[in-house]
A = this chain, B = another copy of it.
Amino acid sequence: MATPSMEDYLERIYKLIDEKGYARVSDIAEGLEVHPSSVTKMIQKLDKDNYLIYEKYRGLILTPKGKKMGKRLMDRHELLENFLTTIGVHEDNIYKDVEGIEHHLSWDSITCIETLLEYFRRDPNRADELMNVRKELEAEN
């Protein structure tokens, strides 16, 4: 199984490849706010665990296993961002919160959150009513 840290890297790598076609050590490092040496180390681990194939100084490609995982991780990340946005969390807090919790939810929870989002999507009034509750609670204090 992948550790939370490994998931962070894998997700980042998948996203970079998805957007730019390749993932360089320095881009990964910048995105995750770690030093390049930490990236190299982790890439070697991900190679060893067959998430990607890595050639020193040359670059890396994701294996099918890595791609599948990466996509799931990215989708999950987006889902959680949407969720927090929907319930009214301030933009500035969203990225960090998602980053923190995404590795710690069972797929059961993820599915339930997906359902919850769909619930709000199906009838925009529901989100409005949620915001009304918010205003009422705020007015009380």
Q: Using CB atoms and an 8 Å cutoff, list the residues of chain A in contact with chain B.
A: 84, 87-90, 93, 96-97, 99-101, 103-106, 108-109, 112-116, 118-119, 122, 126, 129-130, 133-134, 137
Q: With the chains together, A135 CA to B53 CA distance in Å? A: 41
Q: For A96, what are the chain B residues with a Cβ–Cβ distance below 8 Å?
A: 106
Q: For A93, what are the chain B residues with a Cβ–Cβ distance below 8 Å?
A: 106, 108-109
Q: With the chains together, A109 CA to B116 CA distance in Å? A: 16
Residue of B whose beta carbon sits closest to that of A118: B133
Q: Taking A106-B93, A109-B93 as contacts, is the C-beta distance between A115 and B100 under 8 angstroms?
A: no
A87 and B115 contacting across the interface, CB-CB below 8 Å: yes
Q: With the chains together, A117 CA to B55 CA distance in Å? A: 50
- Find A89's partner among B97, B99, B106, B118 (CB 8 Å cutoff): B106
A87 and B106 contacting across the interface, CB-CB below 8 Å: no
B87 and A116 contacting across the interface, CB-CB below 8 Å: yes
Interface centre among A88, A99, A109, A134 (most CB of B within 10 A): A109
Q: With the chains together, A100 CA to B80 CA distance in Å? A: 15
A130 and B116 contacting across the interface, CB-CB below 8 Å: yes
